[in-house]
Amino acid sequence: SSKIRNPEVQSADDVAGLEDCIDFSLAKTIRKIEEKLEKGGLPDCLDNDDIIPSIGNEMGAEAQIRFLKAKLYVMQEELDSIVCECRKKDDENQNLKSRFKDMEEENTRLQRTTSMQRSQIEKYKMLSQEANKKSEVLQQEVIALEKVLQ
């Protein structure tokens, strides 16, 4: 089946980084494995139970190759999926950075507006106080003039 999976969890050291996979080619890898098999059996690293289960010792070379090709195909699909997910996360990250920058600019603009409005409020308070003082003076004059008229 094309959905062969290793049930054991691998450590982070066993996982290839994205930069390690830039020149990765499924066909090249398969060719290398086939060449090693033709030269003298399975390479030492393929005898590990993580790659070929213990039943693999009883399999013929062609069955092992098919098994490894299937496993390689699944791993390539998983790699493609992870690369796609990383690209989506990078796009989302860039989008969020852009939104954050826009929000910072909007915040700065609103702070300037708020500052201008505060200074205008202070100006109008002062004008209001001056107008109230003039009004009181004028009221006192009106009261004084009314007394003079009486």
Q: How do residues 89-107 score in pLDDT, each as one tens digit?
A: 999 999 999 999 999 999 9
In a domain, 50, yes or no: no
Residue 94 lies in a domain: yes
Domain count, the chain: 1
99 domain-assigned: yes
Residue 138: inside a domain:
yes
Q: How many CB atoms lie within 10 A of CB 6?
A: 13
Structural domain contains residue 117: yes
Instruction: Give the range with max mean pLDDT: 15-19, 38-42, 44-48.
Output: 38-42
Is residue 24, in this structure, part of any structural domain at all?
Answer: no
Return the pLDDT at 6.
43
Give 69-127 as a DSSP string: HHHHHHHHHHHHHHHHHHHHHHHHHHHHHHHHHHHHHHHHHHHHHHHHHHHHHHHHHHH
Q: Is the pTM of this model over 0.85?
A: no
Residue 139 within any structural domain of the chain: yes
> What average pLDDT does the chain have?
79
Boundaries of domain holding 73: 60-149
**34 pLDDT exceeds 50?**
yes
Q: Which of 26, 98, 97 is nearest to 68 (CA)?
A: 26
Residue 87 maps to a domain: yes
